[in-house]
Every structure is written in C-alpha cells, then in structure tokens.
Amino acid sequence: MPQITLNSRLPSPQTVVAPRLHTVLCGYAERTDFTMTVDFGIARAAMSVPVRLELPGGRGATSIPLVLAAREHTDWFPIFRGEARSEDQGLLTSRLRLIGDYEVPLGALGTIVNRRVLGDAAQRSLRAFLERLRADVLDEIRRSESDILHREGLHI
C-alpha cells in the first residue's frame, strides 16, 4: 500500500483549527452526497466520485482517524485509511496534515496503472481533498468568529 503525507498551512493557531477540523470532518461524514474529483491526468479528464468518509474513532485532540472510499464501484477506486491532523506551527499558524495509506484496486496492476498511466491520480485526488478540507476549516473558523461577534453585539 502506498503511503502518503500531504501538508497545508493555515493562518490560524492549532488551538483554533483542531476543533473546527473535527466539526468539518463530522459534517462530511454525515453527508450522503459528498464527492471527490478524480483527475485522471489524461487530456484533462476528470470525474466526480461519490465517496463516504468514515470516522472510525480513537480521535485525539489534534488527530482524527478517517477512511475515504467510493460509495459505488468500490473495486475501481482507491481506499484511503489514515488521519487528518492539525499541528502547531507557531503562535498564529498551524499545519493541516493528511497521513495514511491508500490501497489502489487490482493490486500490483492497479498500482502500475495509477502511477504510469494515470500519473498518480489517487495522490492528486487526496491533495484536492486536503485543499477542500483546508478551505472548509477556514470557513468554519470565520463562521465561528462571526457568531461570537454577533452574540457579543459587535457586528462586522
């Protein structure tokens, strides 16, 4: 199984990011219409794949185990098993990490097709997922801050 570690910086401290990361992932897990875009790397071909996100438990304060798998045609798409983490990078920044293994279908043949024909489509899809997760965490932070200001009577 290929291992993967992807990183993305956030302009917010880890203490703010970690709870919002959990909120966003729980929202993804509840959705039945959650999709990921698979970029095949061939003539700009891509497709939207309905996926399920499972949160198997064992969550820590800054680390959340997760599984990403296709809802349909599971024998054609990779499965990712790993975790999303928020890590402290200083007073005002943090790092969002996606760490784990992905299993491509069809064993060794699937690995060769993913690498040589599709140009690591599985890894690109996970990178796109991480960037979407980052954007949604930042939106959740903004929403939370706006709610606090509204409750305190300080409108922006």
- Checking if the pLDDT of 22 tops 80, the result is yes
- Helix (H) / strand (E) element for 35: namely strand 35-39
pLDDT of residue 83: 96
- Percent of the chain residues topping a pLDDT of 70: 78
CA distance 94 to 35: 26
Domain map of the chain by residue range?
Answer: 3-151
Q: Name the residue among 16, 30, 32 with its Cα closest to residue 144.
A: 16
Tokens coding 45: 């071909």
Asked whether the predicted pLDDT for residue 90 surpasses 90, the reply is: no
Provide the pLDDT for residue 118. 53
pTM: 0.82
The pair of structure tokens assigned to 77 is 């798409």
CA distance 125 to 52: 14
CATH of 3-151, one of 3.30.530.20, 3.40.605.10, 3.30.830.10, 3.30.1360.120: 3.30.530.20
Alpha-carbon distance 149 to 69, whole Å?
38
State the number of CA atoms in the 13 A half-sphere of 135 facing the CB: 6
Question: How far apart are alpha carbons 128 and 124 in whole angstroms?
Answer: 6
pLDDT, mean of residues 123-150: 86
